[in-house]
Structure 1
Amino acid sequence: MGGPLLWPTGEPWPEYEPKQAPYGPLTTLADVHTLRGIVEQERSRPRTGGEILPTGWQAEVIDRIRNGYAPELLPEGPLPLIPLVQLYARDVPGLPCPEGTDMLQALWSPFDEIEGCSGAVQLRWRLSSDVREVLAEPPEPAYIDMSDLVPAPCVLHPEQVREFPPLHLLTEEQTKRLDAWTNWTKERSPDYEQLDYEGDLSIAPGWKLGGWPAHFTYRYPASSGELQCGECGGPVEALLTVAGSEWDGRSRSWCPVEDVDGHPYHSRTPTVVTVGRGFTLQIYICVGTPSHLPRTIMQ
């Protein structure tokens, strides 16, 4: 996650030219990592005498980074995408690799244009054994707009789980049965710890491959016309869910047992990615031609 990719030296690195004006102050990947390092250092440092904010050179660096760079001083044209995630079929049960491939690489543009169907989000399916010479120094964008879309490098430990459909995909009969079950749990006992279908059973929170698509939280569910490939118009299916946290107060039952007690708040946000105002980005792939540009929807 967010780390180096097994990328052949002779293959062009994907690029994308932002179409919209920057959302906020422009910065660089190096500055993003520098700022996060200062924040992490301050978070772990013992505090005395009510000291709260960084001082001295750290404060100066933070001010410089947050002020950003003037757009007119930066180069124009397409910018290299940054790595999002790399998955191997040997590590991930059910990874839907097209025939002749055994890994998936996803890259995106850290700008406010990742929703829809464009080159801002790209996928690569490849056979890992075909990569003989690995690109040692991948290109980086000269600047970025949204530091919240820069994932902190993480090693993945995939776990296969069972989940149930989101509410918007239930039939009328299933909804009635679910309502009856909910009422039954409420009536069992005032002290009974009630399970919540949406938070505890239906959709696993956090970053996820495959499974049911995420809940629609701030908008109406996508129509059939929206859930289609942007290149061929064919059907799509949920491939990858990008989330800001691995669980929250409502979905705490999904928290790994090793993180239930005694771990700091940021243990549930290892990637440091925030999509929108705390939503998820659902990446859908074309069923007929997985190499087509993916369809992405904020949910």
Structure 2
Amino acid sequence: MARTTPPRPVDIAAVFPELVPLARRAVRLHPRPGRPTIHESSIGGPLLWPADEDWPACSDEHDHWQPPASLDDIRRRRDLLEAAWLRPRPSHENLLTPEQRAYLDKLEAGHPPHNAPNPLLPVAQLYLRDVPGLVGPKGADVLQVLWCPLDHKGGMPTARLIWRDSTDVQKVLTNPPAPLDVDRFGHYVPEPCVLHPEVVTEYPASHELPDELAERLHAWGRAEWAELHPDDEQNNGSAYYQFEHSVAPGWKVGGWGPWSFCDPWPMNCDTCGSEYRPLLTISSGEWDGGSGSWIPLEDRDHTGPVGIRNPSDPPMVQIGRGYNMQIYTCPTSFDHPHLEIMQ
């Protein structure tokens, strides 16, 4: 099923013409539970990987502030909790039996870190045919993103980008190595999802606008909010533009950065000095209490049990305390190092 973002409450570029030249196309990926194949775009799905090509691994130092877990233990934990939440039970009955609780505690205890390179985990596979505007090196028709599912410097995983020509893959690797260690609660283990790409128009977050324009947008937002919510004595509309009219939440390609708890800073390629451009946003959720207007029309009347998978976060990925991990690339060369930041 396609996903359709509702029109923005206001045509913001008509109200503030200064925003017109700042418009950017973003592609909301709308990952949803599924069983993607190696020949499809996906989040957390299998990759089209040549059998004769080494699978990448991470030898960096990891931030083991808590014991890691195994990939199998994360899947067992999710299966246990999913079944428990979907099981009909009286309101006074505990979610887990004593035996299940003990088993869950064992799964969540983790294990000592392995002292060996950690095989990477697939995060995304994006065929250029499915993502309007996504362009790779000459001849490449698919972008593959993998990461080490442990905290590194900055409190995030570290990602690897692979561009390839799918027609060059003759014999496929069918059993890639799994990570030895993943983060204890599986925050960096994406559940397999199929994609429903949708093009939307974005404008910069107020953090990236000239102060004078940002102040006018804040004032306009407060006035609009007060009219729409006359009972809100706090008048929380100063972020109305930010949440409703600028940057789309969720997993996406391109667009603008979802600045939140920190301000923008100059981000330039160490190799050539070019200004980085957003490539991929990995999100902890497609909507929350402050971005409900972005909920796709097809997801607004959700009914029935959902288990442990939040409808706004089908991949079950969490970055930090519910933030975004954004991958930036150099517009000059695909061979230049990319940049990863938390926003």
Q: Structure 1 230/150 Cα, relative in aligned 2: closer, same or farther at 3 Å? A: farther
- For the pair 1:145 / 2:183, whether they are aligned, the reply is yes
Q: How does 1:67-78 map to 2 (within 5 A)?
A: 67-71=109-113, 74=114, 76-78=115-117
Q: State, as a whole percentage, how many aligned pairs show the same letter.
A: 41
Residue matched to 1:287: 331
The CA deviation at 1:109 is: 0.7
Work out which of the residue numbers 35, 38, 48 in structure 2 matches 1:6: 48
Bigger Cα displacement from structure 2, 133-142 vs 175-184: 175-184
Residue matched to 2:31: none
- Deviation per CA, 1:98-121: give whole Å up to 9, x if none: 22111110011111117499x931
Normalising by structure 1, we get a TM-score of 0.89
Residue matched to 2:168: 130
Runs of 5+ consecutive residues of structure 2 not aligned to the other structure:
1-42
The CA deviation at 1:184 is: 4.1
Task: Return the alpha-carbon distance in structure 2 between the equivalents of residues 167 and 100 of structure 1.
Answer: 37
Q: How does 1:12-161 map to 2 (within 5 A)?
A: 12-48=54-90, 50-55=92-97, 57-71=99-113, 74=114, 76-113=115-152, 115=154, 120-146=158-184, 147-161=186-200
Work out which of the residue numbers 240, 243, 255 in structure 1 matches 2:283: 243
Runs of 5+ consecutive residues of structure 1 not aligned to the other structure:
none
Matched residues, number: 291
- The one-letter amino acid paired with 1:254 is W
Q: Structure 1 279/67 Cα, relative in aligned 2: closer, same or farther at 3 Å? A: same
Q: Which has the higher contact order (CA 8 A, sep 6+)?
A: 2
The CA deviation at 1:185 is: 2.0
Residue matched to 1:201: 245
Q: Structure 1 90/192 Cα, relative in aligned 2: closer, same or farther at 3 Å? A: farther
Q: Structure 1 47/213 Cα, relative in aligned 2: closer, same or farther at 3 Å? A: same
The CA deviation at 1:298 is: 0.6
- Secondary structure (helix, strand or coil) at the match of 1:43 reads helix
Residue matched to 2:218: 179
Bigger Cα displacement from structure 2, 138-147 vs 121-130: 138-147
Residue matched to 1:278: 322
Bigger Cα displacement from structure 2, 204-213 vs 167-176: 167-176
The CA deviation at 1:189 is: 6.5
Runs of 4+ in 1 over 4 A off after TM superposition: 114-117, 186-195, 230-233
Normalising by structure 2, we get a TM-score of 0.78
